Amino acid sequence: MDHFERRAGALCCEDVPLGRIVEAVGAPVYVYSTATLERHFRVFGEALRAHPALGRPLIAYAVKANSNQSVIATLARLGAGADTVSGGEIARALAAGVPAQKIVFSGVGKTQAEIAQALLAGILQINVESEPELETVAAIAAERRESARVAIRVNPDIVAGGHAKVETGAAASKFGVALADAERLYALAARHPWLEPAGLACHIGSQITGLAPLEKAFRRLRQLGDGLAAAGLAVPRYDLGGGLGAPYFQQPDPPGPSALADLAARVFAGAQADFIFEPGRVIAANAGALVSRVILIHQRPDGRRIAVLDAGMNDLVRPALYDAYHDIRPVITRAGAPSPYDVVGPVCESGDTFARERPLPPLAAGDLVAFMTAGAYGAVMASEYNSRPLVPEVLVRGASFAVVRPRGAVEEMIAREPLAPWLGGG
């Protein structure tokens, strides 16, 4: 459930009409709902806490989904931890008030500087994804003479069924340690004087809409953990990753957090460990919309109508990159029967097409439309391609709203790029 709804004909975020935000900030603009973020986080937490088998569950929000400082801070206040994949994300999470002890660091290519940063900050655990990485963490920890908590991220060799570009758990993907190597690496960590094995981790993909692949992955992780325990190696924590799909309009409905929690509790019954979950999309996606203005409508000789918007693929890349479907709603609906529109952005690429032949109520130049379910992997994936400044972000709370990232400016873009000295630069 989200808090975007039509009131007196106008699409609102909580108690604020989207049109009012555009009057104040201009278009395009990303708009986030505090109530929705909070609701999604609470529902996820309640689902987990219903199961004593899950120990003291930590929800390490995957900040890559939406790393705006105010979004992270909203969740941090409710007790969220953070799943991070770069030094930048660790810094963001700390700056937004996530305690270091609730931060997990994942990713296949952590640099030495990032590993040192994580250890210095005293984060909860580093999810190690390969043997060379384990050696690097060990070397840095030894040099610092301070032990490093490491979990081994396992590649359970499972096809999760989402878009191929966001699959992470298949053997062919670049992520995680092969099941066959995991036990040896865990034992290696246990023997090392400066490594503290903190548990096992897996994450098999994103926008997962069925429990079956998750169940398989969890079972493989459990089996591995039981094997380690039998060999006298404790597994104090299981990090079960993120990946639970969010409901996108007219797309396959994913299971909810309670189905995920039930599954985890069933598979890990009696494991006597703590559990980490790393939801990103399911928390943030439906908490955000991208509001854009129709620049013009033009009609092709074949009758096709093209609505050209002021938002482009640089602002919301998911349709271009993953053929993702985002519901498009007029902010104020004009009377008249829906008819098909191609909805495109202004960027000079054919891929800058948000939807083809999408049935929409009548649109005219100047109208505002909202891309729904854009709170996750929206603003964070934006770029300045075509020298288009980044879109501002606004956070709504009840009847109030605040600009939580101002619109970028072209002057700022140019100022960031000093001319080389031989071209007249200083």
Q: Which residues are catalytic?
A: 348
CB of 384 to ligand LLP, least distance (A): 18
Alpha helices, H only, 290-356: 318-322
Give, as ranges, the residues between 238 and 267 that touch ligand LLP (CB under 6 A). Answer: 241-244
Closer CB to ligand LLP, 11 or 240, in the complex: 240
Give, as ranges, the residues between 89 and 128 that touch ligand LLP (CB under 6 A). Answer: 106
Closer CB to ligand LLP, 302 or 323, in the complex: 323
CA 325 distance to own-chain centroid: 17
Coil vs helix vs strand at 303: coil
Contact status: 377 vs ligand LLP (CB under 6 A):
yes
Give, as ranges, the residues between 5 and 24 that touch ligand LLP (CB under 6 A). Answer: none
The kind and range of the H/E element at 238 are: strand 237-239
Size of the chain, expressed as the number of residues it contains? 426
Q: Following CA atoms 111, 116, 119, 125 in sequence, which dihedral angle do they give, to the nearest 10 degrees?
A: 10
Of the candidate spans 57-65, 117-125, 250-258, 343-351, the one that interacts with ligand LLP by CB under 6 A turns out to be 57-65
CB of 206 to ligand LLP, least distance (A): 3
Closer CB to ligand LLP, 70 or 206, in the complex: 206
Contact status: 207 vs ligand LLP (CB under 6 A):
yes
* SS3 per-residue string spanning 94-122: HHCCCCHHHEEECCCCCCHHHHHHHHHHC
Maximal C-alpha separation, the chain: 74
Give, as ranges, the residues between 121 and 160 that touch ligand LLP (CB under 6 A). Answer: none
End-to-end CA distance of the chain: 54
Q: Whole-angstrom Cα distance, residue 308 to residue 291?
A: 13
Q: Whole-angstrom Cα distance, residue 148 to residue 140?
A: 9
CB of 6 to ligand LLP, least distance (A): 26
Residue of the chain from 318, 329, 388, 397 that contacts ligand LLP (CB under 6 A): 318
Closer CB to ligand LLP, 160 or 307, in the complex: 160
Q: Site residues (CB under 6 A) for ligand LLP?
A: 62, 64-65, 83, 106, 166, 168, 203, 206-207, 241-244, 278-282, 318, 322, 377
